[in-house]
Each structure stands twice: as structure tokens, then as C-alpha cells.
Amino acid sequence: MDPTTGRMLNADMEFYRLAGLNDIPELKVHMMTGKGYDERGVIGLGEPPAVSPGATISNAVANALGVRVGILPITPDKVLAAMNQAQKAGA
Amino acid sequence: MRAFEYVSPTNTKQAASLLSATWGQTEILAGGTDLLALMKEDVVAPKRLVNIKDIKELSGVNPDGSGLRIGALTTLVEVAENASVKEKYPALAEAVQEAASPQIRNMATLGGNLCQRPRCWYFRNGLGLLPKDESGKDLVPAGENRYHAILGNSGVAKFVSPSTIVPVLIAYGAKVRLEGPKGKRELPLEKFYVIPKTEKDREHDLLPNELVTEITLPSAEGWKVAHYEIRQKAAFDWPLAVAAVALQGDASNVQAARVVLGHVAPTPWVSPEAAAALKGQKVSEETAKKVADAALNNAKPLSQNAYKVQLARVAVKRAILKAAGGAA
């Protein structure tokens, strides 16, 4: 949002950058069904996939870089800032 | 979208005569991949559209002496798949192949790619190319400028030049041919782009009633050229930084070089400093780093885009190593 005019600048799919097909690796879906699960009855499926990927990706980035990027989405500017800060702290 | 008049001339002269001498009155329609979106968003509202798709002479890739000449109406997919382009200008084929999406490459033309309007989100939201508040204060320096210019941004223009193909065309020494009411002219492609000073100016040197007719490429014999893009997304995204590098002679003793950056300034950014730093050098990781530092030495980031300086450096370094034949 532009702070002066209050205009939303990324109100479309061009500027609101969602991951595309080429950005997402193969997904494996495991359904937790059977004894011990079925007894709980009907459980929503829409929300869980929205919760865990962020944490998973964030953990993968931390594992790869040794630096935690605490804010989603993890964009190049945030990764570079986190790495620069870690370098400074280490120096 | 507002109502407009639609005309379909069949030759370039006729097309030029149907264009207004004032910006904003008429627009040229080729692939329409940029123009139609701008019209739907009401960013531009021409009174007349001049469809040039019926002008046969503007299409095709043909030999031009020892080089090539590409008609402005040639689609991106035709450029990327052309045998001569793939064989003699592989970095151009690669850059075109990476642009936009397959659907857009089927429609978009090379001339349109040269003339596409900036992707600046202030401009696309109708706030103008040089956005200002009511008191006349520039919005971008105090606003959302993470994707804006880090070079050539000392004036009011802070947007970045949008084409991902133009830097590699300039690296190959491309020229652009224009035709208007005063006849034909030819410019080195880098001279086609200018930094606008007022909202009435455009980001290129084209007159409102001129057309881009052709892009010519000199022979690339003896040159090694590479193109490197850094993007947030793997596909269908505008890059954060682009570099195109052309090296003449052996990678162990560079005779001459051209280094062109994209998405870092309001124009494609030719770096004479980087070219000078490469001349007479043996290409190595170390020289590539030094050249990249030279290219970005004068960068002046805005409040949110200092990270782009580092990305642009990396793009230059990797393009140099890629041109020299190593892995990027």
C-alpha cells in the first residue's frame, strides 16, 4: 500500500506474487485415515494445508542457509537482509 | 474500457498517417498483450487504435548482410524458434524463451516488447509514470519502491525499463528502424530509450506518429553473449535484475565487451565502466566480481531496494561467467 495515497498497489495477480507451478515441487499427500483417526469423525481439510507449508518452507530455508527468515513470504530482499545481519553478527 | 475508433492500414506509410502527432490520442495495436490491459485498467484511453497486424512487410526474420533483420511484428515465439536466431544469437533465443508465458509469447511481438510500458505499480494503478501527490511531491521515494530503479534514478523517473529482451539485443549491438511522417531513421537500440523528465514524455525516443519497423542485428561472429535473469518466481514474472554480457575474443584475453543491465534503471542500462573493467582481462570468478562491482559502483538505492544492488551484481557476474563458457 502506498503510504501517501493509501492506494493498494498490488491488487492483482501480477504484483501479488503467488508461487506458480514452476515454483512448487511435487506434492505428496498423505491421508491420515484408519483406526485411531476415523473415530474423531469429520475433520476439515481446507485449513491444514494453509498452516503447515509456511513453517515447512521457513524451516527448509533455515536449514539451507543457517539463518532464519521470520516473515512470509520469504522474498529475495528478506533472505539477503537476514544473511547480511547474520554475517554482521558473526563478524 | 472506453469506446475507440479502430483502423487497419495495410502499409507502414498509411499507418503513420493514421497516428496522431500528440501522445495519448492514438495507440498502435500489434499483439495487444500490454495495450489491452492498459486500456481495460483505464491507464491509457486512446481515441483511435491503429491495428498494424495487416501490414505484411513488418513480419519475419530475414538475413541482412552478415547479420539479421527482424520485423517488428514478428512474434516472440517466432523469434525464439527461428533457426538463424537459435544458431547465431543463442542468448537472444534464450531471453525470448524466458519472457512472459507461452500464451503471451504467441501473441506478443518484438516491436511491442521494445515499446511496452513500464510495470511500475504506481503507473499501472493510474498514478502516472512520474507519480506525485497533490502537493507535487514524488510518491515513489517515500513509498513502495522495492522494485524501482537503483541506477539512473537521480531525476523524477524511478520506474525500471520493463523489457527482458532489450538488454541482450543491445549486447548484440542491435539497431532499431523507425518510420514516420518525416521518413525513416535508424538508431542504436540503447539510444532509443530515454529517461522522461515530465509526465508528457515517454520512456523512448519514438515520435507519437512513428512506428518501429525493424530490429537489425550485426554479425555476432567472434562474440560470446550471455543473458542472466534473477527473478522472484520461476516463470511468468518480471525479473528483479537482468544482465546481458557480450565478450569479443578469447575468454583468456577479452578484446572488447558490452555489459547491459535491465530492470535496474528507467532505461536499459549500458555500463561503460564494466566494459572497461573487462577489456584485456582473463575471465575468472575474481574478474567477474570486479566487473560487477564496477557496473554497480554508481548505484543509489531507494529506501526499500538496496537488495537489488546485490542481485544486479550477481546477475552481471553470472552473465560474464556464462558468456565465457563456464556455468553461471
**B230 and A75: CB-CB below 8 Å?**
no
Q: What is the mean pLDDT of residues B45-57?
A: 97
The 8-class DSSP code of residue B15 comes to H
B198 touches B133 (CB < 8 A): no
Tell me the C-alpha distance between B29 and B11, whole Å.
Answer: 14
Whether the CA torsion B212, B213, B215, B218 is positive or negative: it is negative
B75 domain-assigned: no
A90 in contact with chain B, both atoms CB, cutoff 8 A: no
- Which three-class secondary structure state does DSSP give residue B188? strand
B38 in contact with chain A, both atoms CB, cutoff 8 A: no
β-partners of residue B48 are B5, B26
From chain B, the residues in CB contact with A21 under 8 A are 235
From chain B, the residues in CB contact with A4 under 8 A are 133, 137, 139, 142-143
B76 domain-assigned: no
From chain A, the residues in CB contact with B119 under 8 A are 14
Measure CB to CB from residue B143 to each of A3, A17, A21 and give the nearest one.
A3
B127 domain-assigned: no
Q: Read off the pLDDT band of B326 (50, 70, 90).
A: low
Using one digit for the tens of pLDDT, what is the confidence trace for B123-167?
A: 999 999 999 999 999 999 999 999 999 999 999 999 999 999 999
B74 touches B60 (CB < 8 A): yes
Q: Is a pLDDT exceeding 50 seen at residue B278? A: yes
Tell me the C-alpha distance between B180 and B279, whole Å.
Answer: 39
Q: Is a pLDDT exceeding 60 seen at residue B116? A: yes
Tell me the C-alpha distance between B243 and B220, whole Å.
Answer: 18
pLDDT given for residue B328 in this prediction: 46
Domain boundary among B53, B69, B87: B53
From chain A, the residues in CB contact with B123 under 8 A are none
Tell me the C-alpha distance between B278 and B295, whole Å.
Answer: 11
Nearest-CA neighbor of B40 among A12, A62, A55?
A12
**B133 and A5: CB-CB below 8 Å?**
yes
B97 domain-assigned: no
Question: Which B positions 13-32 lie with beta carbon below 8 A of chain A?
Answer: none
pTM above 0.90, yes or no: yes
Q: How many domains does chain B have?
A: 2
Question: Which B positions 136-195 lie with beta carbon below 8 A of chain A?
Answer: 137, 139, 142-144, 146
Angle of the A76-90 helix axis to the A48-65 helix axis, nearest 10: 40
CA distances from residue B303 to B150, B264, B300, B307 in whole angstroms, order as listed: 10, 15, 10, 10
Grid coordinates given for B156: 523524477
A80 in contact with chain B, both atoms CB, cutoff 8 A: yes
Q: Is a pLDDT exceeding 70 seen at residue B286? A: yes
B265 domain-assigned: yes
B176 domain-assigned: no
Measure CB to CB from residue B142 to each of A3, A15, A20 and give the nearest one.
A3
**B139 and A5: CB-CB below 8 Å?**
yes
Instruction: Write the CB contacts of B216 (distance below 8 Å, at least 6 apart in sequence).
Output: B64, B67, B68, B69, B70, B174, B175, B176, B177, B186
The CATH number of residue B19's host domain is 3.30.43
Question: Which B positions 239-258 lie with beta carbon below 8 A of chain A?
Answer: 240
Q: Read off the pLDDT band of A91 (50, 70, 90).
A: low
B234 in contact with chain A, both atoms CB, cutoff 8 A: yes
Q: Is a pLDDT exceeding 50 seen at residue B108? A: yes
Q: What is the mean pLDDT of residues B86-99?
A: 96
pLDDT given for residue B234 in this prediction: 86
From chain B, the residues in CB contact with A76 under 8 A are 230, 232, 240, 307, 311
From chain B, the residues in CB contact with A15 under 8 A are 121, 124
Q: Are strands B269-270 and B253-262 parallel, antiparallel or unpaired?
A: antiparallel
The CATH number of residue B249's host domain is 3.30.390.50
Using one digit for the tens of pLDDT, what is the confidence trace for B211-252?
A: 999 999 999 999 999 999 999 998 889 999 999 999 998 889
Domain containing B267 equals 228-323
B177 domain-assigned: no
Tell me the C-alpha distance between B328 and B325, whole Å.
Answer: 9
Name the residue in chain A with its Cα closest to that of B308.
A77
Using one digit for the tens of pLDDT, what is the confidence trace for B25-50?
A: 999 999 999 999 999 999 999 999 99
- Which three-class secondary structure state does DSSP give residue B46? coil
Q: What is the mean pLDDT of residues A49-59?
A: 88
The residue type found at B63 is: P
How many helices (DSSP H) and strands (DSSP E) are in chain B? 12, 12
Name the residue in chain B with its Cα closest to that of A78.
B307
Q: What is the mean pLDDT of residues A23-32?
A: 85
**Which residue did the predictor score with more confidence, A79 or A90?**
A79
The 8-class DSSP code of residue B19 comes to S
**Interface residue of B132, B159, B232 to substitute, partner A, most A CBs within 10 Å:** B232
Using one digit for the tens of pLDDT, what is the confidence trace for A31-42?
A: 888 999 999 888
Q: Read off the pLDDT band of A18 (50, 70, 90).
A: confident
Measure CB to CB from residue B233 to each of A10, A11, A20 and give the nearest one.
A20
Nearest-CA neighbor of B296 among B101, B305, B304?
B305
B128 domain-assigned: no
Name the residue in chain B with its Cα closest to that of A10.
B121
Name the residue in chain B with its Cα closest to that of A81.
B307
Q: Is a pLDDT exceeding 70 seen at residue B90? A: yes
- Which three-class secondary structure state does DSSP give residue B259? strand
**B311 and A15: CB-CB below 8 Å?**
no
Using one digit for the tens of pLDDT, what is the confidence trace for B161-208?
A: 999 999 999 999 999 999 999 999 999 999 999 999 999 999 999 999
**B233 and A75: CB-CB below 8 Å?**
no
Q: Between chain A and chain B, how many beta carbons pairs sit less than 8 Å apart?
A: 59
